[in-house]
Amino acid sequence: MWLLPIALMATATALAIPLSRYAAWIMEGEYRPPRILAWFERRIDSGSQTWKQYAAALLIFNAVLFVYGFAVLALQPVMPLNPQHKGMLAPTTIFNSVASFMTNTNLQHYAGEVHLSNFSQIFFVILNQYLSAGVGFCALTAIIRAFRGQKLVGNFFADMWRVVMYMFVPAALISGVLFIQQGMPMTYQSAYQVSTLEPAAMGTTDSGQAKPQTIVVGPVGAVIPIKMLGTNGGGFYGMNSAHPLENPSAWSNFITTLDMMLFPFTLVLMYGRMLKRRRHSWVIFCVMALLMAGTIVWAIYFDTLKPNPGLTAHPASKTFTIPSARSPGGKQEFTLPAVARLPVDQHLGNLEGKELRFGTSAGATFAAVTVDVTCGAVNCEHDSLNPIAALSPMAGMWVNCIFGGKGVGMINLLLFLIVGVFLAGQMVGRTPEYLGKKVGAREMKLAMIALLVHPIMILGPTGLFAATTWGTMATNNPGAHGFSQMLYQFSSSSANNGSAFDGLAVTTGFNDNPNPPPAGRQWDIATGLVMLFSRYLPIVAPLAMAASLGYKKPTPFGLGTLRDDTTTFGCLLFGTIVVVGALLFLPVAALGPLAEHLGPIPFGG
């Protein structure tokens, strides 16, 4: 049970050390590429840019990605590689999906095997998964160069080329071979027709013949490596990493989980190598690892080691009256059935929505890791996690810096770090310093703006939807669990995570869907906007902050200087993350998972 998370953390750390050296070597431009690649590189590199030019190039690049993605999805019915003649998605779903994939979120208000053709999977999903993953990587690299005091922070397009060609493509090729060896499909065919073992399991035709089963396949082996390595999380199939063709075995589950940890771990150590402050980066790494271990232990303890509260014995049925927007009079009678002596063995914990072929703790471990590294792939049903265990993935998305997405997780941590050194400076009556430079009012303003975007983008829309029928009409569960579903959706969108709690009616799918969900359009638009603003504002402001700090003259090291490579600094950073995170999100946690855990209705509240 505990072997899986320990093995994952140890393996990811061991691989991150040499990989961080390689990443720094690539991003410093010290490599000698093959001639054909060097030819492309010379044409892409238009010269070094200031931080403003770099940020502008990043935004323009993403605007072009939006136009491209919108065109691919809108033209899906007339594109090739679509033998099943899949139609066009609803316009709001196109907006949501394009915003989702260009921001590295991969929140999916559709099911891949149902709604996307192989053309869209290749030219929309895979392309975005490589490029959106590179954006965060590039942003962190530019911030490191700015911290070093460089007026010119590199060229965005050259950096993107390096990240994709020399980091992601080789890693994805290795992972892809391992996945295909485990049985993952890799074909341009779109589906197989097979006879079922049980005759007529799929029904019979009018003439009495057994209907075949249609098993959707495609270039799964090309999608999944970059889905995980790029901490994208958007799967080929709607069931994501719980699908037997997307995650065929316990071994592929281990590689899948390791893949999503690899680059987030690597970039923290790359930060230290490029700044020549490796001890400092190890302090940050240990703080992040401690927080990740905490979320994993929390999820396993409260989910794998505790029974499902919905299946524990309630000798007598109970009836509750709860508010419900869908019921006449605004109230609904909810009866909790008697389940005494139900023949369910719960000594293995809550097994609802789990894939036991991966092991009992694999679901809880994956749930914690996927939100910590803002990947968003899922191999179990987060909606079915024990209510208090669901606090683990939510907390990971709220602080959004426990390794986090490649680059952006480290950037988010730098915001907490700046707040931490500011608080430490205030406590001893000394101007705060970081990397030997004095942190002034401008840096603090930029850090706080970037830090506050995330809670505003979560709490504002959650409050709006919880107070209107847009939210209450979409939830499948009553009370606090319904609120948790809404809260999770906006937390996932704002953290650019993309995992879903499920239980929300948000999938409109095709434009000609005769029964769209009642508030599908509102959810598409709201989560799409949250993803866009929560992606780019917290990249631009920290880049401005790093440039502002980097341009300052270094102050000499003195007795009163706060050293950034000590255990004391690690404790300060840990405390800042926990206290600021709790101050921002504990009230809303009390309304969702905590109320659900303490309330009388399992998965209700």
Find residue 364's DSSP bridge partners.
none
Token pair in block for residue 97: 């999906």
In whole angstroms, how close is the CB of 536 to other proteins at the nearest point? 4
Q: Which CB atom, from 263 or from 533, has the smaller least distance to other proteins?
A: 533
- Decide if residue 525 touches other proteins (CB under 8 A): yes
Q: Give the strand pairing for 437-438 and 318-323.
A: unpaired
In whole angstroms, how close is the CB of 135 to other proteins at the nearest point? 12
Q: What is the DSSP string of 236-304?
A: SSTTGGGSTTTS-SHHHHHHHHHHHHHHHHHHHHHHHHHHT-HHHHHHHHHHHHHHHHHHHHHHIIIII
Q: Which of residues 484-523 bind other proteins (CB under 8 A)?
A: 511
- Decide if residue 99 touches other proteins (CB under 8 A): yes
The CA distance from 226 to 133, in Å, is 9
First to last CA, the chain: 29
In whole angstroms, how close is the CB of 106 to other proteins at the nearest point? 17
Contacts of residue 575, Cβ cutoff 8 Å, sequence gap at least 6: 420
- Decide if residue 149 touches other proteins (CB under 8 A): no
- Decide if residue 546 touches other proteins (CB under 8 A): no
In whole angstroms, how close is the CB of 9 to other proteins at the nearest point? 35
Q: Which CB atom, from 140 or from 545, has the smaller least distance to other proteins?
A: 545
Task: Pick the stretch among 37-45, 232-240, 244-252, 534-542 that binds other proteins (CB under 8 A).
Answer: 534-542
218-254: burial string, b at 16+ Cβ within 10 Å, e else: bbbbbbbbbbbbbbbbbbbbbbbbbbebbbbeeebbb
Q: Does residue 421 contact residue 433 with C-beta atoms inside 8 Å?
A: yes
- Decide if residue 98 touches other proteins (CB under 8 A): yes
- Decide if residue 536 touches other proteins (CB under 8 A): yes
In whole angstroms, how close is the CB of 528 to other proteins at the nearest point? 8
Q: What is the DSSP string of 449-495?
A: HHHHHHHHHHHHHHHHHHTSHHHHTTBSS-HHHHHHHHHHHHHHHHT
* Phi and psi angles of residue 111, each rounded to the nearest 5 degrees, phi first: -115, 120
The CA distance from 412 to 408, in Å, is 6
**Judged by CB under 8 A, which of 533, 569, 574, 603 binds other proteins?**
533
**Judged by CB under 8 A, which of 138, 541, 549, 594 binds other proteins?**
541
The CA distance from 252 to 179, in Å, is 6
Q: Does residue 521 contact residue 105 with C-beta atoms inside 8 Å?
A: no
- Decide if residue 37 touches other proteins (CB under 8 A): no
List, in sequence order, every beta strand (DSSP E) within 363-519.
433-434, 437-438
Q: Which of residues 434-473 bind other proteins (CB under 8 A)?
A: 442, 445-446, 449
- Decide if residue 91 touches other proteins (CB under 8 A): yes
368 by Cβ neighbours in 10 Å (0-12 / 13-18 / 19+) ranks as buried
- Decide if residue 308 touches other proteins (CB under 8 A): no
Q: Which of residues 52-71 bind other proteins (CB under 8 A)?
A: 52, 55-56, 59, 62-63, 66-67, 70
- Decide if residue 79 touches other proteins (CB under 8 A): no
Q: Which CB atom, from 99 or from 424, has the smaller least distance to other proteins?
A: 99
**Judged by CB under 8 A, which of 364, 544, 549, 572 binds other proteins?**
544
**Judged by CB under 8 A, which of 79, 275, 336, 537 binds other proteins?**
537
Residues at the site binding other proteins, with contacts judged by CB under 8 A: 52, 55-56, 59, 62-63, 66-67, 70, 74, 90-92, 94-95, 98-99, 442, 445-446, 449, 511, 525, 528-529, 532-533, 536-537, 540-541, 544
